[in-house]
A and B are shown apart, each in its own frame.
Chain A
Amino acid sequence: MAAAAELTLLEKSLGLSKGNKYSAQGERQIPVLQTNNGPSLTGLTTIATHLVKQANKEYLLGSTAEEKAIVQQWLEYRVTRVDGQSTKEDLRTLLKDLNSYLEDKVYLTGHNFTLADILLYYGLHRFIVDLTVQEKEKYLNVSRWFCHIQHYPGIRQHLSSVVFIKNRLYTNSH
């Protein structure tokens, strides 16, 4: 998904009505937002954080100091590991790490829904859509988290809904 499209999706999910215009910079198409009476902002996570503050939903950035740090950690993860991957091997490692991380957490920060969940969902969508049934079962915690986020009101919008079947076909015990 192009960065500009993703930021537009994020705006809608945050309830912001005005559509910003984003330009792209450089060969990796990093998004740039020109603010009205300030400097231009460059970078997906920077702009996303700015939008969250504009929408008055600072809780999405975490409430305690630790939670805020974790949110930032996962935003960084999104841009470096998820967007930066190139091979199938990268994807598998990523999903494996994520799967073990999410074993005891409902959301990325633990118990609360944050911007990290939103951006990681948008970032991973194009990969999860292509997973086979067996892979979805293998990364069960990622599937559970993904299914949960895609049902969160206002997040999925026009993105396709990924089907996770309820029957366990490949593994009968966990």
Chain B
Amino acid sequence: MMHCPRPDRGRDGGRSSRTERLGSAVPPEVAGNPGTERLRSSPELQGAVPAIFGRRGEPGAVACALLLRCPQLPATADAMGFGDLKSPAGLQVLNDYLADKSYIEGYVPSQADVAVFEAVSGPPPADLCHALRWYNHIKSYEKEKASLPGIKKALGRYGPADVEDTTGSGATDSKDDDDIDLFGSDDEEESEEAKRLREERLAQYESKKAKKPALVAKSSILLDVKPWDDETDMVKLEECVRSIQADGLVWGSSKLVPVGYGIKKLQIQCVVEDDKVGTDMLEEQITAFEDYVQSMDVAAFNKI
């Protein structure tokens, strides 16, 4: 399963931009995103209601809880999650996610791990070795669960970017955990209250959607590409750099800046879509031109 590269999740930059985007009860921007294509073409979604993830305690969260009683609610492009963690498919997503990570978020155990641990109904099967490794590891922190750093959030906040969270509590109704409570429900019928709220939210969303243009997070990056010496053909070097093509990457203007001893470095601008291209990918590809490029640095990185 391919995951879209995200700007440094777990480190400061990624975290603040994520909370920025989901901070208020404003519906996330989906118009024009590939995510909405999925929404429209998916057969099981009738009268698709977008999930509006508000933070707990805000009015959005209550509506969110009622909305999420309907199964198969489509998630927006911004939502995360592991699918249904009680099903083998969800565990498979978790397994793939944890293949190269020790923890759900960052590099220390946190409430994020506690939240996902509690959503999983038991130890994953032995063939999902990464999920099992993580499960046993978090189990060893059983006693310190409450003191782990971070805040426990809804399951939809964790995991790979393009998978929605559909974990329900099914038959087992545990009233201990607030997160499970949100999803757990024996009550199949929607009350009038919930219906009315949903209609109201839909109308609000539609009107806001009509006003807002599609917003894609973009950044402008200024790269410094350094050659081996002053004999290096800078024209060829620039050609090589510009030959790097990627979806969401647009090369801009460039100039040669002397750094001393006759050596010039190439300063080149590019505009990238944060979700599609990351600086580490650019670094790998540029430094692959070993004949011309000695090293590459990010001189400036600005969000647009």
Q: Which residues of A contact B (CB under 8 A)?
A: 103-106, 111, 133, 140, 143-145, 147-148, 151-152, 163-168, 172-174
Contact = CB atoms under 8 A, between A and B. Distances in A.
A148 B103 CA distance: 9
A144 B100 contact: yes
B291 interface: no
A167 B5 contact: yes
Contacts of B95: 174
B142 to A, nearest CB: 11
Given A104-B136, A165-B5, A144 B102 contact: yes
A66 to B, nearest CB: 15
B284 A168 contact: no
B17 to A, nearest CB: 16
Contacts of B304: none
26 contacts: A103-B133, A104-B129, A104-B132, A104-B136, A105-B133, A106-B137, A111-B137, A143-B100, A144-B99, A148-B102, A151-B107, A163-B280, A163-B283, A165-B278, A165-B281, A165-B284, A166-B6, A166-B100, A167-B2, A167-B5, A167-B281, A168-B2, A172-B1, A173-B1, A174-B99, A174-B130
Contacts of B134: 106
Contacts of A111: 136-137, 140
B101 interface: yes
Contacts of A103: 129-130, 133
Contacts, number: 59
Contacts of A105: 133
Interface string B129-166: 11011101100100000000000000000000000000
Contacts of B6: 166
Given A165-B278, A168-B2, A174-B95, 13 more contacts: A104-B129, A104-B132, A106-B102, A106-B133, A140-B99, A144-B102, A145-B102, A163-B283, A165-B280, A166-B3, A166-B5, A166-B278, A168-B1
Contacts of B107: 148, 151-152
A78 B281 CA distance: 32
A111 B113 CA distance: 15
B29 interface: no
A63 to B, nearest CB: 12
Nearest to A164: B100
User: Which secondary structure dominates where chain A touches chain B?
Assistant: loop
Contact of B284 (A133, A147, A152): A133
Contacts of A164: 100
Interface of B: 1-3, 5-6, 95-96, 99-102, 107, 129-130, 132-134, 136-137, 140, 278, 280-281, 283-284
A21 B48 CA distance: 70
Which of the listed residues A145, A152, A167 has the most CB atoms from chain B within 10 Å of its own CB?
Answer: A167
B133 A140 contact: no
B5 to A, nearest CB: 6
Contacts of A152: 107
Contact of B100 (A133, A147, A163): A147
A104 B139 CA distance: 13
Given A148-B107, A166-B6, A104 B102 contact: no
A132 to B, nearest CB: 10
B246 to A, nearest CB: 11
A174 B96 CA distance: 7
B264 to A, nearest CB: 25
B155 to A, nearest CB: 20
Contacts of B129: 103-104
B192 to A, nearest CB: 45
A133 B283 CA distance: 12
Given A104-B129, A133-B284, A167 B136 contact: no
B2 A172 contact: yes
A172 to B, nearest CB: 6
